[in-house]
Structure 1
Amino acid sequence: MPRHYKRKTETKYKIEDLRHALEELRNKKLTLSQAVIKYHVPKTTLLKQLKQNEFKIPKKGRSAVFNKEQEIQLEKYILDCCKSFYGVTPNSLRRIAFRFAEANKLKHSFNKESQLAGKDWYYGFMSRHPSISLRIPEATSLNRITAFNAAEVNLFFEHLKTIQTKHNIPGHRIFNIDETGISTVQKNYKILAPKGLEQIAKATSGERGVPTTVVCAVSATGIYVPPMFIFKRKRMNQLLTKGGNSVIIVTVSESGWINESIFQDY
């Protein structure tokens, strides 16, 4: 949960006092030391305001570690890592922020012992960059990552277009086939339970699921092929088709996943 810090101390001067002090300084009615004593405004605040062309209400609290451009660089780095399938965790971001500040010799109050930026900085960074959110990633194999890229996809569609044009293949003869895995163990959702219990259980068909694969195929014109169910077994049993209709296809494999021979049969 993000923490909302509430300031415990307030400035000893009012904004109107700061305006009056600056006006008298610019009109040379007071010296810098006299303005500090009369209006109780810090000397550094007056000097900073005098250097600016326009009056700006001074920000309370510490100065930001990174400027706007540097935070945009951090945001871009996070998005690039996500696109490359190597996401940045909250702890990784805090470590990167510390090293980024050290490399640029920026003044910061990060923990030098743990070499991490603080949690308050992390929550503040997330609030300043609403385009980034904390998500649970889907596990993706390296084989799929290396095979699925812009060059390979473009090459596939170029070949598809060439073959379709050459043989004049109609849309009802072009099929998209995909598979999905179904576990025999249901996914648990959050439940209401008494406070103080160290462990809460919920009944399922098993603690470790057995994979079952379902293969589906649909043509470009909306025609579908009956689905095929692949159960994890060595031998086929007709009881596996019990409760199903007459058009579904049922088969078995040792792993529960599809293989080359089953694909050809389908």
Structure 2
Amino acid sequence: MTLKRFLEKGQKGYDLTRATHRVFLSEDEESLANHIKALDSCFHGLDREKCRILAFDYAKANNINTPPNWTKDGMAGLDWFSGFMQRNKLSIRKPEATSLARQTAFNKVTVATFFDKLSDIMSRFKFAPQDIYNLDETGITTVQVSGKVVSTTGKKQVGSTSSRERGELITMCCAISASGSHIPPFYIFLRVFMKQDFMNGCAPGAKGVADRTGYMNTELFAYEYLPFFISNVRCSKDKPVLLVLDNHCSHVSLQAINVCRNSGIHLLTLPPHTSHKLQPLDRCVFGNGDGNGRLDEI
């Protein structure tokens, strides 16, 4: 019997021998793992070396016998760390830079206030699922990201034909209802003048505008996008809709509020710096579900 088959069968004798050579008891190791997970949830995750140092300090503080190489290096061994990661379902991940404002904004009080307002407006107007919309902008590129292809081993450069080597970033504004339906996308091109050629191949009913900045601003949202939204949703004061969106300055301007008030659109903004958790489009549609609010291709 090979060692691999012996391990796969999970022999009790081997399991008992392995357990006797563990540095920490199961409850001690679980406590250490929970502490590392708690630090990660607070945006203060530890890297590989700091975790090993923490394990050695934890053993030393609790008078737990450790292998000689732990004392020599001042940290836990790599073999122990690898097993510790597997036993506690941990992995090495690359963190995203997160501002202090975003860390502190998502809390129980803020989220509860938002859902209280949502509950209040739903009880007053009794919106149906098809009358509740979520709106957000994202960035897309004009050049699609190529997938992997079969090529010769050892070849230094592998190419794929595309319209251009580097694409340009375009802002796309989308609105999706709670029933699953959506209105056509709205594009903002980084141009001074709009040309109809920019819309070749776009979804039916989509609209595009040109702007020097290439981003959504007060004038575009109030006088270009909202009329486009109203014409597709066909809302009015007698048939109001609920629009949930972030509190970007272009979304909550006086001009936008006046247009919404005259058209039967009730605005509900998400709390600041919480879109990575509360924005449905960020969580479920844009990107790969990681909440980064950006698409890699059209």
Match of residue 126, structure 1, among 55, 73, 85: 85
**1:151 counterpart = 2:109:** yes
Counterpart of 1:68 in structure 2: which amino acid? S
Matched residues in 2 for 1:90 and 1:187: separation?
A: 32
The answer to whether the 8 Å contact 1:184/1:206 transfers is no
Match of 1:179 in 2: 137
Shift of the 124–154 alpha-carbon distance from structure 1 to 2, 3 Å rule, reads same
What letter corresponds to residue 123 of structure 1 in structure 2? Answer: S
For the Cα contact (< 8 Å) 2:172–2:186, is it kept in 1?
Answer: yes
Structure 1: any 5+ residue segments left out of the alignment?
5-14, 16-56
Q: CA 1:162–1:107 in structure 2 vs 1: closer, same or farther (change >3 Å)? A: same
TM-score between the two structures when normalised by the length of structure 2: 0.55
Alignment CA distance shift 1:230-1:91 (3 Å): farther
> Is 2:151–2:158's contact at 8 Å kept on the other side of the alignment?
no
Aligned mate of 1:206, from 141, 145, 165? 165
CA spacing shift, 1:96–1:213, aligned 2, 3 Å: farther
Cα distance change on mapping 1:80 and 1:201 into 2, 3 Å = farther
* TM-fit CA distance, 1:135: 4.4
Check if 1:218 corresponds to 2:171: no
Q: Which residue of 1 aligns with 2:32?
A: 74
DSSP 3-state at the match of 1:224: coil
Computing the radius of gyration from Cα coordinates, the structure with the larger value is 1
- Displacement of 1:191 in angstroms is 5.9
Q: Give the aligned partner of residue 220 of structure 2.
A: 262
Alignment correspondent of 1:247:
205
Equivalent residue, structure 2, for 1:163: 121
Aligned to 2:64: 106
Q: Helix, strand or coil for the counterpart of 1:93? A: helix
Query: 2:283 maps to which residue?
Result: none
User: Which amino acid is the alignment partner of residue 128 of structure 1?
Assistant: R
Report the Cα distance in structure 1 between the residues aligned to 2:56 and 2:221, rounded to whole angstroms. 52
Counterpart amino acid of residue 180 in structure 1: T
Aligned equivalents of 2:118, 2:19: Cα separation in 1:
61
Q: 1:186 to 1:97 in 2, by over 3 A?
A: farther
Q: Tell me if structure 1 keeps the 8 A contact 2:23–2:64.
A: yes
Aligned position for 2:45 = 87
Query: TM-score scaled to structure 1, two decimals?
Result: 0.60
Q: What secondary structure sits across from 1:116 in the alignment? A: coil
The count of aligned residue pairs is: 210
- Per-residue deviation, 1:248: 0.5
Deviations 1:112-165 (A, max 9, x none): 5654322211111122223x3444556655554443343322211211221232
How far 1:189 sits from its partner (Å)?
A: 5.6
For 2:84, the aligned partner's letter is: F
User: For residues 226 and 192 of structure 1, do their structure 2 counterparts lie closer, same or farther at Cα, with a shift above 3 Å needed?
Assistant: closer
How many angstroms apart in 2 are the aligned matches of 1:114 and 1:94?
A: 10
> What SS does the aligned partner of 1:243 have?
coil
Task: Provide the rounded CA distance (Å) in 1 between the counterparts of 2:103 and 2:192.
Answer: 31
Match of 1:18 in 2: none
Partner deviation per Cα, 1:50-108 (whole Å, 9 max, x = no partner): xxxxxxx9736983222222211221123223322343333332232233234434332
Letter in 2 for 1:240: F
Which structure ranks higher in relative contact order (CA pairs < 8 Å, sequence separation ≥ 6)?
A: 2
RMSD: 3.7
Query: Structure 1 232/87 Cα, relative in aligned 2: closer, same or farther at 3 Å?
Result: farther
Deviations 1:14-45 (A, max 9, x none): x9xxxxxxxxxxxxxxxxxxxxxxxxxxxxxx
Aligned residues with identical type, % of pairs: 34
